[in-house]
Structure 1
Amino acid sequence: MTEMTALDTLVPGPLSLAGHRLGTPQQAGALTMVPISGPDRPGYVPPRTGLKLSRVTGYGRLELRNGAADGVAIVPLHIGYVQDAAQNHALCRSAFLAPGQKLLFEDACCVQQTQGGYLTGRDQWFFVLPGELRARALELRGVHGYAKLWADIAELNQRCGLPRRGHLEQILSRQRPVLTQFQSRLEPQPGQVGALFLIDGRFAGLEICPGPRYFAEMWPALACFAYGVAAWRAEPAPAPAAPYSAATLAELRGALDRDRAARLTGIAARLAAAALDEAADVQEEERYLDLRLSTVTGPHLAGQVVTDGGHAVYASLFAR
């Protein structure tokens, strides 16, 4: 693993990413993923196996349950749930759930304009809102109104060349075979707890999880939907591969090392140019024991972070 100083200064506010390291970048089309290794923190419930959708009590009112006997659940920022023949919902904010606790989110948003029916606790799969919708969704946290994201969804559909409708499933479901390529072409590494994402060479987001299992359960939703949608829209034309000018295995390894070092240097330069460490507003939203959930709003990024004693436990930050 190669450490980049930019990681320690990337997240504004009173928290530390000490102990987190960036690995070798991987690229699939317009999407670059830089693995992040770091501490495996015990006591946190992963989002797929532990956090469950309990019920929807009305449009825009979604209840989640921490089904684990022990461990706190950190609700992933902008998680959403999909079921056939039901109105799919997404959340505008993160939250804490104690073991066995149920929590009703009354500021959820419907993402399927004309579909009726309520989500239930039966089989379900989850997504994370595409990056193009996340800044607006974060602004709408605490705002009641199940239709509040439909206009933004319709605009995103139009930009994707799809009918201008408030139906996110036009992307999530109908384009899923295209979007899953990013999940399959990028390979999470052993011990990976997060990732830095760039789209077309520009910062797109930073995701930090409490441990490798939590990240592994988040990976499909992040790669396919949170960042895959914008990468799909920015997909470049295939470029011919240029072979390395190496005559021996040692020369080939040296060329690979130089190529990786150059890519890391380029990413560091782009992060520095993006000025992501500029002063940002950090607003505490919620507490659970020693954990603090805060919303970060800066000139070039926004999102939410969870800290324990100032150290980042969870972070979901995206370009704005």
Structure 2
Amino acid sequence: MTPARSWLSCFVVGFAVIVAMLLVTLFTPAPYGDLTRIGRLSDAEFGWRAPPPVVEKADILGVPLAQADVLVVGDSFSMTHRWQSRLVQNGYKVSTIYWGQIGWLCEDFSSWIRKAGFRGNLVVVESVERLLGERLDKGAQCKAMVREPLVKTTPFLEPLESVPGFALNWSAKLTTGVITYANMRNVRQSSGDTVYSDETRVRAVKDGCKYFSHRMCDKALFFIEDTDNPPLQPVAVEQMKTFTASQPDFRFVWMVIPDKTTVYIDHEHAAGFSKAFKDSKLGPDLFSFAAEERERVRDFYFPNDTHLSMHGQLILGERMLESVREILPPPRPRTP
């Protein structure tokens, strides 16, 4: 074979391989869940199928800090403004700021937020279970807030309102389809837990099809940090009490959202903290709440994501509305 023919043969083979990889990737649905995207797994098998509730746009609008009755300090569980919408529907004016924007809750929090313009007296501190310990530890060590609060009146993230339809996956890397195919083949063949991209864990869920709507509902996806991070301890409750007592200008509701793994797999992961928090009356017991709603609501958490679904967010909003009403008398409900 001449050098020219050898080169042409190699080129043709290489071209055929690339075209095949491209076709596989183009026909691999673009992921719409954080855990499927991170783990490069298929939303055709792990994507939710139960249509989410639609919330009126007026109900997900926040207000400038100076107009707020309620200030929410939250993380990604508060970024869609869906749970807050239940407060807004009932007349409360809500501003939301995020841990990632402000850092920690430091000693001068009260003077800092007053200086920024907040005139209300109720603060809801929302944190997912796996990150609360670090946030409390860091807050206990800092004297002064160093960043200005940035309040957006619109949601930081807009959730999907329906399952995405078919579309060629042009934006993915060339290797995405092949990797997703290989990962899903491994998922189907494995009888135990498997981990993908060091962050997404596929785990068998007892009675999983009762809890989730996705096709492969005997298994679900979980964020590996849920179990890799140390469990919350009762000392965290004492830190919350200390901070609350140091800020007498405000009333606080602590909103601790349990990890998805705690809700569906390892119910005792933070049992000591959960009991101490429930006894403290610092906020609603969302661990028991999530255990109850898990049994009642399919896709209470997304099957392909680490967050509450929009079904779960609105149910959570009803529970938070109860807690807010216990402290702040309900204003007149917003009229349509």
Per the normalisation by structure 1, the TM-score is 0.22
Q: Which has the higher contact order (CA 8 A, sep 6+)?
A: 2
**Where is the helix percentage greater, Structure 1 or Structure 2?**
2
Per the normalisation by structure 2, the TM-score is 0.22
